[in-house]
Structure 1
Amino acid sequence: PPLRAPEHAAACLEALLDGTADAIATDHAPHTVVDKQVEFGAAANGISGIETALGLVLGAVDAGRLPLLRAVEALTVGPARVLGEPFGGGVGLVEGEAADLVVFDRGDRWTVTADALLSRGKNSPLIGRDLPGRVLLTIADGRLAYLAD
């Protein structure tokens, strides 16, 4: 959902905790500067969200508002279940099958900057924010999709 009042964010978090919500999704909308630098009503909706989602969720974990296991489930197995993916039953890695996974350094922090965002959309209300959990590599469908410097 779009940015809302703190009580709405708290309700989303409570839904994760009590099982009402199964997944965290970003609705990643990487619009270019050209799409955004227009009158408000004409601007493309959304922000780049996929690159900051892990750090935001880990921030909730660090603040004691969300258990780490529930956070990981909501970012991984939860969306798979919602989409009806075959591994949605809880087994994420299957020997001999193409993997989808992210390796991150839980103790490393990074600062959100336009240069750090690799998608075409550089618009984020999080620019300048320090987030936990720097991603080291991403494997999508068994192929290396991202490798940190």
Structure 2
Amino acid sequence: PVTAEVTPHHLSLDETKLATFDTVFKVNPPLRSPNDIAALREGLRDGTIDALATDHAPHPRRDKELALDQAPPGMLGLETALGVALSVLNVDLTHLVRVMSINPARIAGISDRHGRDVQPGAPANLVVFDPIATWQVEPEHLASKSRNTPFVGMKLRGKVRHTVFDGEFTVFEGDAQR
């Protein structure tokens, strides 16, 4: 089957950000117009777009400090995806879980272990988050080894408290465990 995905940054940042020549906004595909953003948001809402993916692409600072035409495309996505989605999208939580977990697992062919209900005797794969907690994106507090995020200083709603992967905490009380 044909599927489609979109990223939080393509739903929240437009092409005018590139006028700054800040390489943190260089992504592939490139950021688009506000009209394109509106169409992507509608596609996510109406089911035309199946998944919301992080497109997590960390890069060393030295690579993102190159000129715009030389710097690699990509930005962080894992730690900000949920907060950006909850802060800028007008979708209910059930739909957000579907496009961030259930559908991606189905598309990837791993729905027997991921993106499903917790089952007795099976290793848990889940995220516990506070949907109303607010936080400010501060690169020095991100767990990623890279800092290339365009959301620095942005206040986001929705904070991951715990992540359990194959029955083990990978995030506990908001801190990465690996």
What TM-score do you get using the length of structure 1 for normalisation? 0.88
Deviation, 1:116, is: 2.0
Aligned to 2:76: 48
- Contact 2:127–2:162 (Cα < 8 Å) also in 1: yes
Question: Comparing both chains, which one has the higher relative contact order based on Cα–Cα distances under 8 Å and sequence gaps of 6 or more?
Answer: 1
Aligned to 1:133: 158
Q: 1:6 aligns with which of 34, 48, 55?
A: 34
Deviation, 1:89, is: 10
Deviation, 1:37, is: 0.8
Q: 2:99 aligns with which of 64, 69, 74?
A: 74
- How far apart are the structure 1 equivalents of 2:113 and 2:50? 11
- How far apart are the structure 2 equivalents of 1:17 and 1:75? 13
Note the alpha carbon deviations across 1:24-62, whole angstroms, 9 max, x for none: 00110011101111121221210001110000111135x
Q: Which amino acid aligns with 2:54?
A: T
Give the direction of change, closer, same or farther, for the CA distance of 1:89–1:19 in structure 2 (3 Å limit).
farther
Aligned to 1:37: 65
Aligned CA-pair RMSD: 1.9
- Contact 2:104–2:115 (Cα < 8 Å) also in 1: no
Uncovered stretches (5+) of structure 1, i.e. residues with no partner:
none
- How far apart are the structure 2 equivalents of 1:44 and 1:69? 35
Aligned to 2:44: 16
Look up the SS of the partner of 2:52 in the other structure.
coil
Uncovered stretches (5+) of structure 2, i.e. residues with no partner:
1-28
Question: How many residues are matched?
Answer: 146
Q: How does 1:87-98 map to 2 (within 5 A)?
A: 87=112, 91-98=116-123
- How far apart are the structure 1 equivalents of 2:143 and 2:116? 29
